[in-house]
Amino acid sequence: MDITSDDLSGVIPTSDAELDKGKVVQFYTLYKAPSGAKREYGVIILQNGELLPQSGIAEGWLKVRKESRGKVSTPEEENFFKKLEELEKMAKKNSKGVWVLTGGFIETTYDLPDAKAFAEKHTGESIDAIVERVVSGDRVIVRLLLSPSKHVQIIVAIAGIRAPKKASNVDGREYPAEPLTDESFQFVEHRLHQRNVKADILGVSPQNQLICAVKHPNGSIAEFILKAGLARCIDFHSTLLGAEMKTLRQAEKHAKDNKLGIFKGLVETKKSGGREAEATVSRILRPDTIVVRMKAGGEKTVQLSSIRGPKPRDGKQTPFEPEAKEYLRKRLIGKHVKVTIDGVKPASEGYEEREVATIISGNKNVALALVEAGYASVIRHRKDDGR
């Protein structure tokens, strides 16, 4: 096999070494896996002429695959493996990397049984870290470098933002991915994967995950992803972020003003109530969404303003969804109501764009009645939301 004839050029999108992350490289294939995964084994040539895996073996971070010896088919390949074995022998002799005899070991913890205690101990600290993997637009797995010999590798939530959710399956029910989920993920992965960052420990989420401000040398990733319109601000991190939350809101406002990303189809909500119209309730779609037949003609699907019915993804709330719908059905179906459109909610979470409205039946606000009955929770709007 002439290994130089298969020389190709390419880009390694993700790599575990700082040497080749995001760099244009060359590579050639030595052999392919005969069965199972379609995998090729070969050599990478860096821009400075350095070779992988040779340099990794020489530093003691890699070991030679003894079983690969049987796959060589040419004298050139035989010489290649001999060279690797010589480099490994030298690394052992000099006690490099994995061959170190005493000391030099890193103790890595992959689980935090008491994340709250860890957060309380390190709150306010800016810890050197490496992003090992990007999970989503607002979740990353980081290696916290607490000391040269003690690391913690754990998933953390990026403070102040909520990115579009991936597709999921909850209790056998499929939920599609939200729009721009992949773009949000790729935005963060391209900028942070295998990068050195600072992780400011701020607190713990209800899911017992650390909440951190993740900062690249060029700045906070939260600000950049918000400015690109690939995430939203979440206000319940405001107390953790303090004055930094203002910067994130300004970044989100930039995306809204320029109709970027998830805000591309955003329709500004009315700051003062719309005109009141009469209608008859014809269907109950969800505990917070109904269909009304307008007196002027035609049907309209509206969501009740400022409330949220039982969440179908929440196992604790799901049993109350049928009860909430029945509560509305008994009180509204066929009844005359007054409808005031308050604004438009952009498409999200698998739902189409829909109008939000205040519904009055008799002299009672329907949304308020649902909350009083315990079938809905109140949505706290930001001051700049307009609703």
pLDDT digits (tens, 9 = 90+) for 117-163: 999 999 889 999 999 999 999 999 999 999 988 999 999 999 999 99
CA-to-CA dists, residue 120 to 110, 129, 210, angstroms: 19, 18, 11
Tokens for 178, please give them.
């939200």
- One-letter amino acid at 302 equals V
CA-to-CA dists, residue 373 to 6, 171, 327, 358, angstroms: 71, 26, 9, 17
Would you say the pTM of this structure is higher than 0.85? no
97 SS3 class:
helix
The larger pLDDT score, comparing residue 113 to residue 317, is at 113
Question: Distance between CA 251 and CA 226 in Å, rounded?
Answer: 6
Q: Binning pLDDT at 50, 70 and 90, where does residue 42 land?
A: confident
Q: How many residues does the chain have?
A: 387
Tokens for 129, please give them.
């870290």
Q: Which of 204-208, 249-253, 378-382 ranks highest by mean pLDDT?
A: 249-253
Of the listed ranges 24-33, 99-108, 294-303, the least confidently predicted one is 99-108
Region of residue 349 (left: phi > 0; alpha: psi -120 to 50; beta: else): left
Looking at every residue in the chain, the average pLDDT score rounds to 83
Question: Distance between CA 139 and CA 190 in Å, rounded?
Answer: 14
What is the CA angle 48-54-55, rounded to 5? 55
Residue 270 has pLDDT above 70, yes or no: no
**Sign of the torsion angle spanned by Cα atoms 153, 159, 164, 168:** positive
CA-to-CA dists, residue 201 to 146, 243, 262, angstroms: 12, 16, 28
Asked if residue 53 has a cis previous peptide bond (ω within 30° of 0), the answer is: yes
Q: What are the backbone angles phi and psi of residue 85, rounded to the nearest 5°? A: -65, -35
Tokens for 315, please give them.
């196992």
The larger pLDDT score, comparing residue 57 to residue 100, is at 57
- How many helices (H) and strands (E) are present in the chain, helices listed first? 9, 23
Which alpha helices (H) appear in the chain, and where do they start and end? 54-58, 75-93, 115-122, 181-192, 221-227, 238-241, 244-257, 321-332, 366-372
User: Across the strands, what pairs with 292?
Assistant: 281, 300
Tell me what pLDDT residue 3 has: 28
Beta-carbon neighbour count of residue 294 at 10 Å? Answer: 13
Q: Residue 197 carries which DSSP code?
A: E
Question: Distance between CA 148 and CA 325 in Å, rounded?
Answer: 58
Question: Distance between CA 307 and CA 284 in Å, rounded?
Answer: 15
Dihedral angle, C-alpha 70, 76, 80, 83, nearest 10 °: 120
The percentage of the chain sitting over the pLDDT mark of 70, rounded to a whole number, equals: 83
Question: Distance between CA 308 and CA 376 in Å, rounded?
Answer: 5
Please name the helix (run of DSSP H) or strand (run of DSSP E) that holds residue 281, with its range, or none.
strand 276-286
What is the CA angle 217-221-222, rounded to 5? 145
User: Across the strands, what pairs with 210?
Assistant: 156, 204
Tokens for 229, please give them.
């319109």
